[in-house]
Amino acid sequence: MSAAHTITLAFTGASGMPYGIRLLEILLAQGVHVYLLYSQVAQIVTQQEMKLTLPSRPQEAEAFFTNYFNAEKGLLKVFGREEWFAPVASGSNPADAMVICPCTMGTLSAVASGLNQKLIERAADVMLKEGRKLILVPREMPFSTIHLENMLRLARCGAIILPANPGFYHHPQSIQDIVDFVVARILDHLGVAHTLMPRWGEGSE
């Protein structure tokens, strides 16, 4: 599996921001170019769940995350919520893959319906129409019939629905281990190498 060179990563306002932040950390550590988008509600949830304040201005966000993760300069590019001239808004310059993590049911519904009112929705629409990989990571329970029908519709369009449902066969010892389980599965689908956890059948006596 060949790794994606440029990945669009979107944070929306669902619970589960530790998954998205950890995913961003690993992508940058692996030298992947990342286009980052996040909603206003995602900023609120990040503060609530992680006591982390995400800057509102794209340039400040780039500097913040680059310093926060001690990442190589130039790997991260952050775009505003309605920055329609961003590369992710056009099929002439799409990323290799896109992940929405965490993904709200509202965002999932908008993507399933082809709505493009915000840049996140438009970027996802571009991935579908260009036949690129789109991964959505919902963290919701229980799912309503509407949620399930929207997920089925997107799956039929080629999107990967990867709920934030961690396994426990690796005997997690911390919340970080649980987060890493889900992030590892996302990275596997992106073709990005990692050592977050042993694979099934490896490391056993």
105 in a known ligand binding site: yes
169 in a known ligand binding site: yes
Cα 198 to Cα 181: distance, rounded to the nearest angstrom: 10
Look at 202 and 183; give whichever has higher pLDDT.
183
Residue whose tokens read 């993507």: 111
Residue 31 has pLDDT above 60, yes or no: yes
Q: What pLDDT is attached to residue 1?
A: 40
15 in a known ligand binding site: yes
pLDDT in tens, 141-161: 999 999 999 999 999 999 999
Q: How confident is the model at residue 105 (pLDDT cuts 50, 70, 90)?
A: very high
Q: Which CATH number fits domain 6-190: 1.10.150.120, 3.40.50.1370, 3.40.50.1950, 1.10.3720.10?
A: 3.40.50.1950
Structure tokens at 39: 């909603």
**For residue 59, which amino acid is it?**
Q
Residue whose tokens read 């997107």: 154
39 in a known ligand binding site: yes
Q: How confident is the model at residue 205 (pLDDT cuts 50, 70, 90)?
A: very low
Compute the mean pLDDT over every residue in the chain, rounded to the nearest whole number. 94
pLDDT in tens, 121-132: 999 999 999 999
Among the listed residues 159, 151, 162, the one whose alpha carbon sits nearest the alpha carbon of residue 185: 162
Cα 7 to Cα 29: distance, rounded to the nearest angstrom: 13
Q: Identify the bridge partners of residue 134 per DSSP, sorted by sequence position.
A: 98
Residue 137 has pLDDT above 70, yes or no: yes
106 in a known ligand binding site: yes
Residue 102 has pLDDT above 60, yes or no: yes
Write down the pTM of the prediction. Answer: 0.95
6 in a known ligand binding site: no
Q: How confident is the model at residue 91 (pLDDT cuts 50, 70, 90)?
A: very high
17 in a known ligand binding site: no
